[in-house]
Structure 1
Amino acid sequence: MILGLTGGIACGKSTVSAMLVAHGAKLVDADQVAREVVLPGEPALAAIVAEFGQAVLQEDGTMNRAEVGKLVFGNAERLAKLESILHPAIRERMWSRIRAYKAENPDQLIVADIPLLYETGQASLYEGVMVVYVPRAVQIERLMQRNSIPREQAEQRVSLQMDIEEKKRLADFVIDNSGTLEETERQIELFLHGQGLSR
């Protein structure tokens, strides 16, 4: 099964993906791939430089993330241009990895960890979507603790994403991560058992 994994900020998606990997799943992480496609020599980085100029590069030839962030911040047109370069490159690399894992072992669970899976319209590409869920109030508390930020800032960051209740409603599988790690692990085992997935 090729499973899309998503959730909201501070819901514990990386905890759940690590548990799935511990049970033998193969993981393809969108954030990791996003960093790979802008390494020196990558076509996506060349396209970003062509679009935004040499100022987006550091002296060692790597992308200056802060500079790119400044260029697109508050500018919808520039942000859309950046995303039109990055999103296809990320998606293509993820799927080439997924296909390689599938060819290796057609029966294994392959997990694609994509923070903005619903927002970028990718849900239909996967055989199932798992949402890691905690109620909004828990999300805010955990984000405040994790990032040492005030409540107002945490609320603002949570509000930038699709509402977690909506993601939960759309999901094929929900892992409620608001309890203990043992409770989360139990849900993962039930999911794997119910799916009859090979380890």
Structure 2
Amino acid sequence: MIFHLGLTGSIGMGKSTTAAIFAQAGCAVWDADAAVHRLYAAGGAAVVPLQQAFPSAIVDGAVSREALKQILAADPAAFAQLEAIVHPLLAADRQIFKDTATSDILVFDIPLLFETGGEAAMDAVACVRVDAATQRARVLERGTMTEAQFEQILAKQMPIDEKSARADYVIETDTLDHAKTQVSAILDQIRQTQAKPALGGKTSADA
């Protein structure tokens, strides 16, 4: 039986690093952000429908995220139109992954998993987290956004305490070794319980 594990968290919490740990452990990983990049690239499935909806968003045959950002800033109502186009394409990309992946555990790296109700399609959810000071330092050290932009993104995401409370597993990403230990424990438990009717309640990855 193939197990579907959702992986989520907030910006700067270490989700991408944790997804890579799952991949190194033999899991097949579907990355929602990477899927969007595929859809937006030249020849991607989103280019033609987005060109019809937002002509100025297409630059050199691909969707320009910067141009799209400017369009949405000028007309916030356009966001619903964007989602109506992109979400079905993402779902199709995710289904192809499900149909072709060969691992016994499939990991779905989705930042807004709870915000979009995506947890309903998962057998369990793991949430990565770290303290607020470390989160802020990690994001700002990247040099890709200002503090104001960071705060804007945080405001759009479900509070990490709520995500953690709703998740089946919580992975503390304070150190790489600690994260690896917790991922290993989660995979061991999933594989041990796959034959059982249900996993039960929330589980500590350190247990």
TM-score (norm 1): 0.87
Q: 1:41 to 1:156 in 2, by over 3 A?
A: closer
The alpha carbon displacement at 1:166 in A equals: 0.6
Give 1:147 deviation, angstroms.
Answer: 2.9
Q: Distance in 1 between matches of 2:132 and 2:152?
A: 12
> Does 18-27 or 157-166 show the bigger shift?
157-166
Q: 2:179 aligns with which of 181, 184, 187?
A: 184
- Using CA pairs under 8 Å that are at least 6 residues apart, name the structure with larger relative contact order, 1 or 2: 1
Shift of 1:74: 5.1
Q: Give the equivalent residue in structure 1 for 2:9.
A: 7
Q: Which moved more, 1:63-72 or 1:139-148?
A: 139-148
Match of 1:64 in 2: 64
Partner secondary structure for residue 99 of structure 2? helix
The answer to whether structure 1 residue 118 and structure 2 residue 94 are counterparts is no
Q: Following superposition of structure 1 onto structure 2, how do residues 96-111 of structure 1 map, counting pairs within 5 Å?
A: 96-101=96-101, 104=102, 108-111=104-107
The secondary structure found in structure 1 opposite 2:40 is coil
Cα deviation for residue 153 of structure 1 reads 4.7
How far off its partner does 1:169 sit? 0.5
Aligned length: 191
Moved over 6 A (4+): none
1:82-131 CA-to-partner distances (Å, cap 9, x unmatched) read 11101111121112211221xx45xx111111111111111111111110
Segments of structure 2 that go 5 or more residues without pairing to the other structure are 195-207
Partner of 1:159: 155
**Residue 32 of structure 1 corresponds to which residue in structure 2?**
34
Return the letter of the residue paired with 1:111.
V
Cα deviation 1:163-191 (Å, max 9, x = unaligned): 1111001101110112x211111111111
* 2:9–2:128 contact (8 Å) kept in structure 1: yes
Q: Distance in 2 between matches of 1:152 and 1:36?
A: 29
In percent, how many aligned pairs have the same letter? 31
Amino acid at match of 1:193: D
- Cα separation, partners in 2 of 1:65 and 1:167, compared to 1, 3 Å: same
Question: Hey, what does 1:170 align to over in structure 2?
Answer: 166
How do 1:46-61 residues align onto structure 2 when only pairs under 5 Å count?
46-53=48-55, 55-58=56-59, 60-61=60-61
Q: 1:137 to 1:127 in 2, by over 3 A?
A: same
RMSD of the alignment, in Å?
Answer: 2.0
Matched residues in 2 for 1:153 and 1:97: separation?
32
